[in-house]
Amino acid sequence: MRAGCRTAARLKLPERRRRNRRILLAFLVSLFLLAGLAKLWPSAARVLGKLPLFQAGRVEVTGLLYLSPEEIRPSIPVRYGESLFEVRPAEIVRSLERNPRIESAKVEFLPATLRVSVRERRPFVLVNAGTLLEVDSTGTVLPPLARGLIADRPVVTGLATASHRPGTRLMVSRFREVLRLVTLLEAPDVGLLPEISEIVASDPRWFVLRTSRDQIPILIDPERVTPRCLKALAATLHDLRDHDRRVLVLDARYRGQVIVRCAPDSLGEAPTSRDKV
């Protein structure tokens, strides 16, 4: 190292030490200020909590689909006019998530307002267990709505369900196959779910789907069904309706083909027992 460079390094050393002292001093001052604020904060919060700007003058509930604000409000442990500094968001979230219909919740503080955003569990299918049970995509049984409304979803029949209590899950292996099938039917590139009103799962070998419009039975093998198979089924159903055919049964259990059985009086020519599409 040249002599001039060594002298410059020596000159920079006191400056570096002074800078480090300033940083240490600023840190200590900040620490003392924070300690003072922590000590004074309860008193300041009590004073500010008496001002309308910092009170829960309004409780907003957003994100509702099926539940009403009147059904949700009793689960929010906040009084009107209560200081926002005394509100515990975690307690509100826990209280709301005790309702099996609520998947998650979030709390936000606004001037004079407490906003609670909820995400509801969406009814995925209706299970016929003596009464119609709304069940979400995870198999969780949802409690009935106070207004008595039921979602417009396919009805699943023929399942042996042991527990019907809201919040419990249907653990029947057959039901998992139903959920998978409904997911495929609802896919945008298939779009068959609005056509289906009932899924009969009583036969261990296959499912029977019934169309809502004309109650056409459709045989499906739940273990072998694929999106391609359901696309072919949707195209077949659309074509049959375009030609005004009265269909007795559609059999989509076999890969690569859909077997159609039409009523003899709906054919303009000598009927055959089965047509393959």
Share of the chain above pLDDT 90, in %: 47
Provide the terminal-to-terminal Cα distance of the chain, rounded to the nearest Å.
89
- Predicted confidence band of residue 142 (pLDDT cuts 50, 70, 90): very high
CA distance 195 to 18: 78
Q: What is the pLDDT of residues 250-274, one digit of tens each?
A: 999 987 788 888 888 765 554 444 4
CA angle, 170 then 152 then 251, to 5°: 75
- Of 3.30.70, 1.20.1630, 1.10.260, 3.40.50, the CATH number of 125-276 is 3.40.50
Contact (CB, 8 A) for 69 and 115: no
- Looking at domain 52-120, what is its CATH homologous superfamily? membrane protein fhac (3.10.20.310)
Buried/exposed code over 154-189 (b: 16+ C-beta within 10 A; e: otherwise)? bbbbbbebeeeeeeeebebebbebbbebbebbbeee
pLDDT at 115: 94
Every domain of the chain and the residues it spans: 52-120, 125-276
- The model scores a pTM over 0.85: no
Q: Mean pLDDT of all residues in the chain? A: 82
Average pLDDT rounded to a whole number, residues 75-88: 89
Please list the alpha-helical segments (H only) found in the chain. 3-48, 69-72, 89-97, 173-186, 227-242
pLDDT at 38: 46
The residue with greater pLDDT, 11 or 154, is 154
pLDDT at 114: 92
Q: What is the pLDDT of residues 30-52, one digit of tens each?
A: 555 445 444 544 666 565 667 88
